[in-house]
Amino acid sequence: MRLFYDNDGCTKTQPEKLSYSSYMQGKLIVFEGTEGSGKTTQIQLLYQWFRCWTDRVALTREPGGTPLGQKLRQILLADSSIRGMTELLLYESDRAHHVEELIKPQLASGTIVLCDRFTDSTVAYQGYGRGLSLRKIEQLNEMATSGLQSDLTLWLDLDVEVGLFRTRQRGPSDRMEQADLEFHRRVYRGFAQLAKEQDRIIRVDASGSQSLVQAHIQTIITEYLTKWQII
Ligand code: T5A
């Protein structure tokens, strides 16, 4: 299927064919990747694409998808006294609250939830990046989500240095972005390993232009919506 943009950001993907009428359970679609890989840009474009034909879609993020999460996000991205286990538990606290307060109720109402980062970020950053136990992270992820996993995760694969360059062009770096290059390379290896192990993770080449990457994402999403019999 060819996808191309209208001036209003909607695509000519025959939205009249996209119908949810018989659809009851929502889906959780997650965007993952290293710093500056374009997740936020792409998830927002995808949200606009969904909004062209349905209002049963929600856009959220971790950390910071709830009012409490916003406060945790500020601490996590700015407080330089935070160390490994504290960092891990704060991300998991944000997630437990987010899943309970927002994600699960939205899924239960049949909404497609688009989430900027989720459990794989903790494996990649706190596990591969910080070197904390992968087994403990798996247990904490399980506890924080009550076993909820994404239905589909798009891993935006971009060279780590290109991504960091993009974020630095944008403005001052946050606490996580300031970590050394080797840390970010370990995080990258974490995502690559997860993508090898898990069928729910699809790699997306994020090195192209914003519109090229978005067109690729829309193609993948359309395939999955068809497979899930949503369209
Ligand atoms: N974290 C998070 C953990 O350590 N453990 C966890 O469990 C969780 C959930 C979150 C931080 O927390 C860490 C990971 C993060 O360090 P954040 O601000 O949400 O902090 O960090 P990011 O998710 O990395 O957000 P960024 O904004 O830094 O990166 P994005 O979202 O990947 O990239 P985006 O879209 O903002 O784009 C970055 C810049 O590149 C440009 C954009 O215009 C922007 O200026 N850009 C492009 N330029 C050229 N070509 C393209 N195709 C482009 N796409 C975007």
CATH code, 169: 3.40.50.300
pTM over 0.85: yes
Q: Is 67 a member of any domain? A: yes
Q: Is 10 a member of any domain? A: no
Output the CA 36–ligand 1 centroid distance in Å.
4
Q: Is 115 a member of any domain? A: yes
172: left (phi over 0), alpha (psi -120 to 50) or beta: beta
Side chain identity at 120, as an amino acid letter? D
Atom of ligand 1 nearest to the CA of 117: 9
The helix/strand/coil state of 67 is helix
Total domain count, the chain: 1
Output the CA 167–ligand 1 centroid distance in Å.
7
Q: Is 52 a member of any domain? A: yes
Q: What are phi and psi of 189, to 5 degrees?
A: -60, -35
Measured by CA distance, the residue closest to atom 26 of ligand 1 is: 36
Q: Which domain holds residue 208?
A: 27-227
Q: Is 16 a member of any domain? A: no
- Alpha-carbon distance of 83 to 181, in angstroms, equals 18
Q: pLDDT of the chain along its 231 residues, tens only? A: 333 344 455 655 545 545 555 557 899 999 999 999 999 999 999 999 999 989 999 999 999 999 999 999 999 999 999 999 999 999 999 999 999 999 999 999 999 999 999 999 999 999 999 999 999 999 999 999 999 999 999 999 999 999 999 999 999 988 888 899 999 999 999 999 999 999 999 999 999 999 999 999 999 999 999 999 888
Atom of ligand 1 nearest to the CA of 44: 35
Output the CA 41–ligand 1 centroid distance in Å.
8
